[in-house]
């Protein structure tokens, strides 16, 4: 990773977020943490982590670690201790252990499902071999949910935050930030199957109002109790110099509840996942942008934009794949890169990678296993980055955790670096302009001005002197842009600027400089 920092610098990002690298049996890509204050030997050691931070800082890159407070791996010492301790013990109270229902406790304490499929409870075999209590796991059965009413849990996480802050990390991405406080654990949910479907990203099989209704009251997500935790964490972040930050992974409904996580005494940012599920459609996107700006704007927090991440299909794939998918993805990226606030780019998004085909035998994602293969899971989007034409595309001389498709030869960083019209070249240009243009560069000015645009077209002005036109239609459009506007960047070469007008091809975004 240290050897690739120069690449990230040249890409033009300001910071890197690393997914969890802590000691872990890796049942869920490291989100099953067995020791949150140590590095898994697969990746290196603590000195390497420190060195990574220092080398990043030397290049003026900031570093964000991923903290996982909702659950611990069942390999964590605490869980082992809980197993060896009797029911009702302090060791068990750090997790959610309950007796089962039914004559011999054979029915789980409630009817919740795991987000990854199957029940959210697993029954223990006690040390004497008898069937025992059940423990809660909203995700895989190897990820036991922590009980945030327990003071050991709170203290331990504060210790973890300080541990990495002392090492020099610039901030944290907080996994399942909306999940820490649970309510009504001993009550059944009226519609557990509906809730499970509603919580999935692929929502095509459900009416939007049913989904919103189910998601607006989830007994284990977005409960009031989480905010007090973040207020105490904020005090810790603020006690360190250098502007340490936090970003919440919190899926909340209605979306206006996002603002509650980024009040001035809580977290700094919350991922806005609207674009992650958005179609390439002007009307939808304009509404999403307006809603986001006004919601987090209400508490003066910066908006964020996410086109892809490790939990969702890659952008090009989601937009239909092939040349058309890539064309739309490029246009979508230019729209996103012109918006105020923070943009999060998933590794390989800049290369326009697609989900890789994988044999089932190669799959790792617990979602695949817990749904008996019905849901293929997220592995397709998690294939390592192809760097160059070499063994394993230069990613590793060892065996990568997922095989890299052979036909990614023309997608490598090396190939795209020498191709002016590559996706990588487009990302580099847009990020450079974003960092230099007076209307786009870092500022607390989150204002944008909407200009009248034909159907299917988005027109945004940002002061001083920046105009964006995004055409989500198939057909080209011609828009009046005033005298003296100049083309800065376009998502493909089919944009023509004439005196006073821009002719923008279908599925294309362009950036223009307006005269003073
Ligand atoms: C969200 C993470 O992004 C995902 O990868 C993980 O599986 C779950 N949280 C559980 O930790």
Q: How many angstroms does the Cα of residue 344 sit away from the middle of ligand 1?
A: 16
The whole-number pLDDT of residue 442 equals 78
The answer on 281 and 263 residing in a single domain is: no
**What residues flank ligand 1, with Cβ below 6 Å?**
28-29, 31, 68, 139, 175-176, 249, 310-311
Q: Are 425 and 414 in contact (CB under 8 A)?
A: no
Looking at the fold, whether 321 and 176 belong to one and the same domain comes out as: no
Alpha-carbon span 172 to 247, nearest angstrom: 6
Q: Answer yes or no: do 259 and 133 share one domain.
A: no
Residue 53 lies in a domain: yes
Q: Are residues 263 and 380 in the same domain?
A: no
Is 209 inside any structural domain? Answer: no
What pLDDT score does 203 carry?
Answer: 65
Backbone angles phi, psi at 35, to 5 degrees: -150, 105
Q: Does residue 235 lie in a domain region?
A: yes
Residue 49 and residue 180 share a domain: yes
Q: What is the pLDDT of residue 10?
A: 98
Residues 426 and 324 in one domain: yes
From CA 192, how far away is CA 196, in angstroms rounded?
6
Q: Which domain holds residue 481?
A: 447-513
| Phi, psi for residue 513 in degrees, rounded to 5 | -95, 130
Does residue 403 share a domain with residue 317?
yes
> Total domain count for the chain?
4
pLDDT at 216: 94
Q: Which one, of 408, 355, 412, 364, lies nearest residue 387 by Cα?
A: 412
pLDDT value of position 205: 78
Alpha carbon of 32 to ligand 1 centroid (Å)? 9
**Which stretches of the chain drop beneath a pLDDT of 50?**
none
Residue 232 counted as domain residue: yes
53 plus 167 within the same structural domain: yes
Residue 442 lies in a domain: no
- Are 105 and 171 within one domain? no
Q: Which of residues 90, 114, 145 is at a domain's end? A: 145
Q: How far is the CA of 70 from the centre of ligand 1 (A)?
A: 10
Q: Cβ neighbours of residue 486 under 8 Å, at least 6 residues apart?
A: 497, 512, 513
- 145, 168, 196: which is the final residue of a domain? 145
Would residue 311 count as lying in a domain? Answer: yes
**Rounded Cα–Cα distance for residues 311 and 313 (Å):** 7
Q: Are residues 141 and 154 in the same domain?
A: no
Residue 476 in any domain: the answer is: yes
CA of 389 to the centre of ligand 1 (A): 32
Same domain? 97 vs 232: no
Residue whose CA is closest, atom 6 of ligand 1? 31
pTM: 0.97
Residue-wise pLDDT for 274-297, tens only, equals 999 999 999 999 999 999 999 999
Please choose from 31, 114, 365, 366 the residue to mutate so as to test ligand 1's pocket, defined by most ligand atoms within 8 A of CB: 31
CATH number, residue 485: 2.60.40.1180
- On whether both 364 and 418 belong to a single domain, the answer is yes
Question: Does residue 191 fall inside a structural domain?
Answer: no
Instruction: Assess whether the previous peptide bond of 74 is cis (omega < 30° from 0).
Output: no
């Amino acid at each position: 990773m240290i050897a690739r920092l120069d690449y990230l610098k040249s890409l033009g990002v300001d910071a890197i977020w690393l997914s969890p690298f802590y000691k872990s049996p890796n049942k869920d890509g490291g989100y099953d943490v067995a020791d949150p204050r140590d590095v898994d030997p697969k990746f290196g050691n603590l000195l390497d982590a420190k060195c990574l931070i220092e080398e990043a800082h030397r290049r003026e890159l900031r570093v964000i670690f991923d903290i996982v407070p909702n659950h611990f791996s069942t390999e964590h010492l605490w869980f082992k201790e809980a197993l060896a301790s009797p029911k009702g013990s302090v060791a068990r109270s750090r997790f959610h252990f309950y007796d089962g229902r039914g004559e011999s406790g054979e029915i789980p304490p409630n009817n919740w499902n795991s987000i990854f499929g199957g029940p959210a409870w697993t029954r223990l075999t006690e040390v004497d071999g008898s069937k025992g209590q059940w423990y809660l796991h909203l995700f895989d059965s190897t990820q036991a949910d922590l009980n945030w009413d327990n003071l050991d849990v709170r203290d331990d996480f504060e210790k973890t935050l300080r541990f990495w802050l002392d090492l020099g990390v610039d901030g944290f991405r907080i996994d399942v930030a909306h999940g820490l406080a649970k309510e009504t654990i001993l009550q059944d949910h009226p519609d557990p199957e509906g809730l499970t479907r509603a919580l999935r990203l692929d929502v095509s099989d459900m009416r939007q109002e049913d989904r919103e209704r189910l998601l607006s009251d989830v007994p284990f997500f977005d409960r009031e109790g989480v905010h007090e935790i973040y207020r105490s964490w904020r005090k810790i972040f603020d006690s360190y110099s250098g502007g340490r930050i936090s970003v919440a992974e919190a899926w909340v409904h209605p979306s206006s509840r996002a603002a509650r996580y980024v009040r001035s005494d809580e977290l700094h940012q919350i991922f806005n996942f609207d674009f992650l599920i958005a179609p390439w459609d002007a009307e939808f996107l304009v509404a999403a942008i307006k809603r986001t700006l006004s919601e987090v704007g209400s508490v003066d927090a910066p908006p964020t934009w996410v086109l892809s991440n490790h939990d969702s299909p890659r952008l090009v794939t989601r937009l239909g794949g092939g040349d058309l998918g890539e064309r739309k993805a490029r246009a979508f990226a230019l729209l996103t890169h012109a918006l105020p606030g923070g943009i999060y780019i998933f590794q390989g998004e800049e290369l326009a990678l697609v989900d890789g085909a994988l044999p089932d035998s190669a799959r790792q994602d617990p979602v695949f296993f817990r749904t008996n293969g019905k849901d293929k899971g997220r592995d397709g989007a998690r294939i390592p980055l192809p760097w160059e034409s070499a063994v394993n595309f230069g990613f590793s001389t060892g065996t990568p955790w997922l095989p890299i498709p052979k036909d990614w030869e023309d997608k490598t960083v090396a190939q795209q670096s020498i191709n002016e019209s590559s996706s990588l070249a487009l990302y580099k240009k847009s990020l450079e302009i974003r960092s230099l243009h007076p209307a786009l560069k870092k500022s607390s000015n989150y204002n944008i001005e909407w200009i009248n645009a034909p159907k299917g077209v988005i027109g945004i002005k940002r002061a001083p002197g920046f105009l964006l036109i995004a055409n989500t239609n198939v057909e080209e459009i011609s828009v009046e842009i005033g005298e003296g506007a100049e083309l800065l960047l376009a998502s493909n070469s089919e944009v023509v600027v004439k005196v006073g007008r821009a002719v923008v091809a279908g599925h294309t975004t362009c950036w223009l400089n307006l005269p003073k």
